[in-house]
Structure 1
Amino acid sequence: MARPAKIGLDYFPIDIDLDQDDKLGMIIGEYGSKGELLWIKLLGWIYKNEGYFAEWNEEVQLKFLRRYNYCGFSLSFVNEVVPRFIKWGLLNQTVFNTFHILTSERIQKTWLDATRKRKDRVLNENIWLLEINDGNPAEETQNKAECINKLKEIKEKEIKEELIVPEEAAPHPSPTENSSPPKDKLQEKQGKLVERQQKFYQELTVYLEQYKPEMLRAFYNHWSEPNRSKTKMKCELEETWDLKLRLIKWEKNDAKFNKGKNNSSDGQQGSQSSEEYQRKRKELEERTRRISSE
């Protein structure tokens, strides 16, 4: 069995400054807090039962009194105050005079907002006071929500377009500004490297009297070697650098490394001298034999 469609509300909003409303203020001024309480209970009765209206006849009045008996309302009091609600505009007078129904634009608007997610809302067009879309408040609410979402999308799109600066609108550096392309900057750094290499070479010439030229040349060739981008020398990549200390260490390593080579060279020279001696000795013996034979 299908669940019956829900019409009324489980709760409804009440403004915190309800007593500051001019229309209700007339009731409070005439009947005090009891008149204000009757208005709040009447709203609860309307929202709970039919949602946005309530029939108002003797049977309904008695049911209302039985429901809110604890508030101390009497039938005469209710019948006296409710017409005052209509007079001061809290309830619609035309609908009441025609159909004996209590409702208002404010009540209908509150119900419409509270039931905006319901797909089975039904309304009475004869007493409906708001503008509707083909008599379907659910469709009206849905269209309104779609319109709001569409406006949000358009606004977000406009904001994004404002954040994206077109290429032609982007600021270009003036000719006077020192803003060379990356390639020119690289060439500039490479040119400065050559200058630093020459300076490094000049610094080594001071040590010509202390070290052999061959050693200084090897030292320079090693430490002036450029990196892959040809912007820095090998010595500039070191965390610490002291030219004097580096030369001392280089000389020690050079002597240690070339010691074996020097010994080998001396051995080769000795071998060559021995061969020369043997050759000359043979020549001398050959001459001696010739002289003896003659």
Structure 2
Amino acid sequence: MGRIKQGLDYFPLNTDFMHDRVVRRVMKREGDSAFTILLYTLSYLYSGEGYYIHVDDDFYDELSDQLFCTDNDNVRQVLRLFVEYGFFDSSLYERYGILTSADIQRQFLFVTKRRSRRHISPDYCLLPDEENVHPTLPDAVAETADIVTQTPDTVTESPDTVTKSTLLKRKEKERKENILPNPPLP
């Protein structure tokens, strides 16, 4: 039986990410290490559950061990500032001790749109109901399966067409090459 993938293999990062007002404010206040702490946190977040990460003393220890000249208190302070300035949702941070945001959840749903199982816990969900499609409903699963089934058919037909076209061109070229302008004398 196949393994059910929880998190993501990659996460997109906008090219203007460093120009985000919140990121600049925290970096100005806490230094350049704030950017590194944020990138590490996002990597853990997307690779773990995919749309949130539980932060506790163990998480702060692990993160600070991977960074030079950064201790637990500095990591905790930087992440609190990102929560305070609205990069992460403050209510879920206070209630459950997790870091997430509506943008992160939206990105998770977008990247996992072809998965048969992509569920955001109702307790942690920050998206409106129309954005948070629950694939556990039969309609959503059937819709996804149709899309996935149609794609290979289209892909399979294209190489056949290309192959036939290529073969015809090659045969025509060979026929032209085999015609000698002056036939040999007997």
Q: Place the TM-score, normalised by the shorter chain, in its bin.
A: 0.5 to 0.7
Percentage identity across paired residues of the two chains: 22
Deviations 1:188-229 (A, max 9, x none): xxxxxxxxxxxxxxxxxxxxxxxxxxxxxxxxxxxxxxxxxx
User: Which residue does the alignment assign to 1:40?
Assistant: 39
Moved over 6 A (4+): none
Give yes or no for the alignment of 1:13 onto 2:8: no
Tell me, yes or no, if the aligned pair for 2:56 and 2:97 is still in contact at 8 Å. Answer: yes
Alignment of 1:231-246 (within 5 A): none
What is the CA distance between 1:62 and its match in structure 2? 2.2
Larger radius of gyration: 1
Q: TM-score, normalised by structure 2?
A: 0.68
**Letter of the aligned partner of 2:112 in structure 1?**
T
Deviations 1:157-179 (A, max 9, x none): xxxxxxxxxxxxxxxxxxxxxxx
Taking the aligned partners of 2:23 and 2:131, their CA distance within structure 1 comes to: 33
SS across alignment from 1:51: coil
TM-score (norm 1): 0.44
1:122, distance to aligned residue in structure 2 (A): 2.5
- The equivalent residue for 2:120 is 123
Q: Displacement of 1:19 after TM fit? A: 1.5
Contact 1:112–1:137 at 8 Å: present in 2 too?
no
Q: Which runs of 5+ in 1 are unaligned?
A: 147-294
Mapped contact 1:125–1:135 kept (Cα < 8 A): no
Distance 1:127 1:48 in 2: 17
Q: How many corresponding residue pairs?
A: 140
Q: Map 1:63-212 onto structure 2 (within 5 A).
A: 63-66=62-65, 69-133=66-130, 136-138=133-135, 139=140
CA-to-aligned-CA distance 1:62-103 (integer Å, 9 cap, x gap): 23334xx14443111111111101010000001111111110
Judged with a 3 Å threshold, the aligned counterparts in structure 2 of structure 1 residues 72 and 10 are, in CA distance, closer, same or farther, namely farther
Q: Taking CA–CA contacts closer than 8 Å with sequence separation of 6 or more, which of the two structures ends up with the larger relative contact order?
A: 2
